[in-house]
Structure 1
Amino acid sequence: MALMNKVQNIVVLYGWRRNAFLLSSSRSISTFATGCENRILKSPSLVSLDFPDVWNSSSTNYSEPVMDKLASEHTARIIDGKQVAEEIISKVANEVTRMKKTIGEVPGLGVILVGERKDSIIYVHNKIKACEEAGIKFKLTEFSDNCTDDEVCDAIMQFNVDPSFHGILVQLPLPQHLNEERILNVVKFDKDVDGFHPMNIGNLAMRGREPLFIPCTPKGCVELLIRYGVEIMGKKAVVIGRSNIVGLPASLLLQRHHATVTVVTALTSNPEEITREADILISGVGVPNMVRGSWVKPGAVVVDVGTYPIEDKSCEQGYRLIGDVCYEEASRVASLITPVPGGVGPMTVAMLLYNTLESAARKFNFVLTS
């Protein structure tokens, strides 16, 4: 396989929220996982989270902030995304096996890879490996850097009409000469397992709506928060970055979970001041060690989506990976933190597989047991 040959030659990897009546009539976000240990995902449906906003005078009450400092020897608890992803993929595999035995069908994922970006090649390789582990049918269509929009769109159309494929993924980013908006719009809505179709993003943004698919990386981030017992409702969340892949959908998803969300962009004049107010901090911009310990509120939960290689001759590959967050500093201040690698990355792949399984189950009216 051409992709496998490319992977073998790679030595560098690039990267990048309460009203009293609510508490008496419904569970808080952090309790949704209780009693659903057999589910593949612990995250509830978005529509089940929707309820009216009721403001009262207590909303404006002021209390002095707590300024207790964590001891200098404090170390944050690690959020093990790799372990959680393995558990999810194992359950996906069980459902795929049951689907095959019951109805003789398996989920199928079609992937389009354009160009020779080393990070994209590795990401696709990881997705192929995970699909093989879960028993999901996989087909890769590759194009050179100088391909045209029409060529890529034609390949997507083939997956659109093929009933054996229930998910389509266009590996991003695409070469600059290609029209990403046009290409992604060609992906059939009910096969958009990456969750980037305007209808999926629109339904994610609107209360009372449930998208068919939530973008994999933000979905993985929130799944980790829920599994580690992090309360989202009513908390201050800051998302660094507003990309269509991570920042925008992450901010929308956190709002659907009733967090108060602030987005920090490259044009924000006081990012450190803003991030220090965050109970939950998610960064996904690909700027290594940008988020220092001084940016983090004591006891905050830090989710690092960034991935960046730096030269390190002591490592076998000649490099090691770091994230947007200066781990050594932030781990002395945060309560929970994702490492890089082994944090959000594996969860992105696991969510892709789950979305593909869910798409196939929807098509075949197959009821998932877990």
Structure 2
Amino acid sequence: MLKGTGLLRQQNEKRALSFLRIHRTTFRLEIAEALGLSKNTVSLIVDKFMREGMIKEIGIEEQGGVGRPRVQLSLVPEAYKSIGILVQDTQGQYVVTDYCANVLEKGTIFLNSQNVNECLMQLIKLCKSLLNKHPEVLGIGVGIPALVDPDQGFVYDSSHLGWKKIAVKEILDQHLPVQARILNSVNAAALGQLQVIPEEDSSSVFYIRIDEGVGGALIIRNEIYTGSSWTAGEIGHLSVKNDGPICSCGQRGCLESLISIPAIKERIAQNDQAIQFANWPHINENDHDPAMEEIFRESGKYLGIAAAQMINLFNPKYIIIDSPFSRAEAFTSSVSKTAGERALKVPFEQTSIIHIQTHFSSAKGAALAVILHFESDLRG
């Protein structure tokens, strides 16, 4: 284990690497000023990175006749790579990204997730194949719809997959040459959305994802706040309708039991009118079925009730809602209207609600989690 000056040197190198990843191109002096390092320290770091092929010089900027010209530096994104995987019931999504989170390869594979041992062996086989093609990979991030201890990589419970008390990280690390990071799939997806908003505004973000379930994550200063038992942000089990349907958790009227994709499908099936969208559940701007719009308005109202509570409790700068209904105006306007009626006036006015629909977001976020962990300060 590194100590003293060796540890400090490595920490400075990772801070510089993080700065380069975020800014892409920069100068030695800008790195020194931003990180509070001496010019000599930065020069040593830059020289090392150049020898290792991690950065390169891309041009000279003249100083208007005053002082020496500045040499512009650029990160070489493919010097380091990361693998991200989302485990689902019958399939897995995977991505390989470069160091700047650009996707180099992606795909889906069949997974028998109901048999945990077989599923993990399938993941190991996939990772070995990807590592053969991408030896620059730093690590593997795996998002799982479960209660996960991300520090230990231990899955306590997954009602979706039927997993209980599985040491996923330990098993993967025994079979692979790089280490794995295990995290909740919604938390992984939330990390991937940090690139949606300006870096200077990312100190407080609440992310909501609507899919087979409904989940949330609180991001503080670019990190997921998981809480003491890793359930912080669990918005899907807020009760928003006293006489609502019974949820899988045993409560009545949970948000998940009202607006998840299975819940919306059930409401459509119960509707007297046949509702047909070619790309369901992905909604287009031109889809205007009156019965469906009413379902969206009511679903938006339920989410607005929950969003108002998040605004009052956490006062986030942004609420990002990632759902297949992001193009349904009846849904998005109902969310904002209800949240505005129920949240405190000043924090609501200071919160931006952003609707998006992403693909492979959990896999991308899991890959980013590996990079962020690599950059984090080492603890002695």
TM-score > 0.5, shorter chain as reference: no
* Structure with more strand by fraction: 2
What is the TM-score when the length of structure 2 is the normalising length? 0.37
**Higher Rg:** 2
Higher relative contact order (CA 8 A, sep 6+): 1
What is the TM-score when the length of structure 1 is the normalising length? 0.38
